[in-house]
Amino acid sequence: MIRARFAPSPTGPLHLGHAFSAATAFRLARAMHGSFLIRIEDLDQSRARDHWEAQIYADLAWLNLTWETPVLRQSTRAKAYHSALQRLWDQDLIYPCTCTRRDIADAVSAPHFGPDGQVYPGTCRHKPKPKTMPTDTALRLDMAKAHRRDLDYTRVDDCGIEIGTVTVSPGHTVPNVGDPVVSRRGMEAAYHLAVVVDDAFQIITHVVRGEDLEPATAIHTVLQDVLGLRPPKYHHHRVITDERGKRLAKRDDARAIAAYRDDGLSPSDVLMLVGLQK
C-alpha cells in the first residue's frame, strides 16, 4: 500500500511552492491508489502557531486535497525521538556538542558553508563522552562512524514509477554539512532525526519533497540504515521560484495560497500557476 505525505511547518502561510509540493504528493498517491497524509512539523515550538496549522488545513482543503486523519504532530513524538537517540547513543554514533554558533565560526579560519549553515568543524567529536546520554547539550551524528558503506535510495517520478537509484558513498554523504545535529539542548529532536523516525512510524512509502532537500535525503538514508528503518522511495521535485529565480520562502506572503484565493483565483488557477494542469 502506497503512502505519501506532505510535511509542513506551521510557522507561516503556505505559498505556491507548498501548493506544488502538496499537490504533487497527493497526485502521486492517487496515481498509485494509495493514501495521502499530512504531518505537522512543529518541532520548533517557539515559532509554531495554532492559527497557522488551521490555515494549512484550510488551504489544502481549498485545493481539493483530502488526507488521512488524525494528523500526526511532531510535538507529540518526544518519546519516539528519545528512544531513537538512545539507540544511536548505544551504538556510539552520536556525541554531545557544546559549541555555540560563535565557537563554530571561530574554530576555522576558512569556514565552509552548506545547506545547514556553516559546516561544523568537528570540535567536540573526539572529546571524552559521558556514560549516559546527556540531555543538556546538542547531540551530533558522527558521519564517519555512521556511514561505513555505500547506501542506495530509490528515485521515483511524479507518478511513483521507479526511475533509478542513487548511491551515497561514505565520505561523500553531504560534503558540505559535516556532522548534523540530531538533537538540540533539552532533548528537542532536530529535523533530520524526527523526519526519518516519523516517516517510518507512519509507514510512508514515497517521500515527495523539493530538490533543495536532496542533500538531506542522503543524511536520512544514513540515519535509516543505522536505526534499522526501511527507507521510503523519493521524488525530488523542481523548486518553485519567484520571477528572479529565488526559492519562495515563508516570508513571501504575497505568494501565499490564501492571498491568491482572496484575489479571486480558483484552486485550479493556483495549480496552473505552478505548472500543474487541472
Which does residue 99 touch among Zn ion, ligand GLU, none (CB within 5 to 8 A, set by kind)?
A: Zn ion
Residue 134 or 252: the one with the smaller Cβ distance to ligand GLU is 252
Range 26-29 contact pairs with CB under 8 angstroms and sequence separation of 24 or more:
26/65, 27/158, 27/159, 27/276, 28/2, 28/4, 28/156, 28/158, 28/159, 28/160, 28/206, 28/208, 28/235, 29/2, 29/3, 29/4, 29/206
Q: Is the CB of 122 or the CB of 232 nearer to Zn ion?
A: 122
- Name which of residues 106 to 135 contact Zn ion (CB under 5 A): 123-124
Confirm or reject binding of residue 97 to Zn ion (CB under 5 A): yes
27 binding partner (options Zn ion, ligand GLU, none; Cβ < 5 to 8 Å by kind): none
Contact segment (CB under 6 A) with ligand GLU among 1-9, 83-91, 117-125, 174-182 equals: 1-9
189 binds ligand GLU (CB under 6 A): no
Q: Residue from 99, 146, 151, 222 that binds Zn ion (CB under 5 A)?
A: 99
Piece of the chain touching ligand GLU by CB under 6 A; list 5-13, 46-54, 76-84, 230-238: 5-13
Which of 93-101, 148-156, 187-195, 210-218 is the region at the interface with Zn ion (rule: CB under 5 A)? 93-101
| Positions in 108-127 near ligand GLU (CB under 6 A) | none
Under rule CB under 6 A, residue 8 binds ligand GLU? yes
Q: What is the DSSP string of 99-135?
A: --HHHHHHH-SS--EETTEEPP--TTTTSPPPSS--S
Applying CB under 6 A, among 19, 28, 29, 41 the residue interacting with ligand GLU is: 41
DSSP lists the bridge partners of residue 168 as 151
- What proportions of the chain, in percent to the nearest 5, are helix, strand and coil? 35, 20, 45
For residue 241, how many other CB atoms are within 10 A of its CB? Answer: 12
Q: What are the angstrom distances between the C-alpha of 59 and each of 37, 50, 54, 212, 222? A: 15, 14, 9, 23, 34
Signed CA dihedral, 251, 252, 258, 263: sign only: positive
256 forms part of the interface with ligand GLU (CB under 6 A): no
Comparing CB distances to ligand GLU, the nearer of 137 and 217 is: 217
Residues that bind Zn ion (CB under 5 A): 97, 99, 123-124
